[in-house]
Each structure stands twice: as structure tokens, then as C-alpha cells.
Amino acid sequence: MKKMKIAAIGVVLLSFAIGIYFYGQVPDIVPSHWNMRGEVDGYMPKFWGMFLVPLLMGCCLLLFEAIPRMDPLKANIEKFRKHYERFIVLILLFFLYIYMLSLFWTMGMSFNMTQALSPAFCILFFYCGILIANAKQNWFIGIRTPWTMSSESVWNKTHRIGGKLFKAAGIISLCGILVPDYAIFIVLAPVILFSVYLVVYSYLEYKKEKRA
């Protein structure tokens, strides 16, 4: 876990170093938002364009490190702590990847942003499936519905299925590379549908448990 923490800090510091290095090479106004077709439709001043993402990454790291200390069920988080620490590094690398894509665009490269993000979403969602499958009952990480938090059995069943579904969502999102015009829908639709299904599933399992 120490190696994962060092790696996480290293990723955040690297993002700041990249921003400092390229700061003098970008225009005063930089792209900041892309629409569903992967085209730029928003801009921001250079300072925020170069350092907003690194600052967000730093804040996320602090939040992720605080969660295991704040959770009343912190002992349960320790049971899957190695998966959680890896997730922290992965989500920071995900932000770094987005940051680098926006920087490449600012430096003159042209590509479909949503299509370029599809592989990153694939890896992120797939690992979320691994994290979910291993998560024990807690208040911050996993599929937290009133019914999973009220029954450890319902939690375990929901997360067992949730892990498989999020892995599937990751694999499906990779198809966004093939159809860039619909990449955003291919990436987001499975996650939304599977999330709704898991909420309903946890409710039905809880009702079934109560009847039994």
C-alpha cells in the first residue's frame, strides 16, 4: 500500500510538472469542454486550463485518503484496502490521461475526444468491477442503497453481480473506438442501465430476505 500511495502522489506531482513545463507554450485561452461529438465547445483562461485538473487530482487524493479514516465501518475497508489503493492510482491516471489529451489538442493535434477516451473508460469501468466485487459493507465505496446498507447478505449479492456488470460495461465501452459518433452513448448507457438495475435488484433481494 505504501507503493500505491507513493505512486498516487507521483501522478499528482507529474500533472503539476507537466502544467508548469508547457505553460509558456500554450495560448492565453485553452479548450476546456468537448460536446458529445468530441468537438470543442468551451474555453477557459490559460492558468485554469493548465492547473485545474492537477488541482482537482490533488483534492481527490486527499479525499480518497480521508475516506478510510472517516468511515464508521473502516475495519471493512481494510479488508479490500489493496483494491481501493489501486483504484486511487487508476482514477488519478484517468484524470492525467484526460489532461494530456486536452493538452495535445491545445498544442495543435486534432482528434475525436470521446473516441480517444473510450479505452480509458474501458479500463476504469473494468477495474471498478474488480473493486465492487471485493468491496465489503461500508458507507463510501460500492453500491450503497438503503437495502445493501441494511443487510450484509444483500450487499454481498448485489456487489457480486455488480462486479460482473461493471466489467461488462468496461468491455462494451471499448466499442466507442469503432463508432465515434455514438461513443458517448456506448460508454455511458451501460453504466446507467446497470446502476439502475442494481438499485432495483438490491431492493428485491432485501424484500425477499425479509419475507424469508
| Burial tier of 53 (Cβ tally within 10 Å: 0-12, 13-18, 19+) | buried
Distance CA 30, CA 19 (A): 13
Nearest to 34 by CA among 183, 193, 189, 178: 183
Which range (9-13, 48-52, 73-77, 113-117) has the least confidence?
A: 113-117
Q: Would the CA dihedral through 129, 4, 69, 73 be positive or negative? A: positive
- For residues 154 and 180, which has the higher predicted lDDT (pLDDT)? 154
Grade residue 113 by pLDDT with cuts at 50, 70 and 90: confident
Entry field: residues in the chain: 212
Residue 152: the pLDDT is 96
CB 135 within 8 A of CB 142: yes
Cα 142 to Cα 55, 76, 136, 153: the distances in Å are 25, 12, 8, 14
- Mark residue 26 as left, alpha or beta (left: phi above 0; alpha: psi -120 to 50; beta: remaining): beta
Report the chain's mean pLDDT, rounded to a whole number: 93
Percent of the chain past pLDDT 90, that is, above it, reads: 78
Which range (3-7, 41-45, 208-212) has the least confidence?
A: 41-45
What tens digit of pLDDT does each residue of 95-108 get? 999 999 999 988 88
Q: Would the CA dihedral through 5, 162, 76, 137 be positive or negative? A: positive
What tens digit of pLDDT does each residue of 51-85 get? 999 999 999 999 999 999 999 999 999 999 999 99
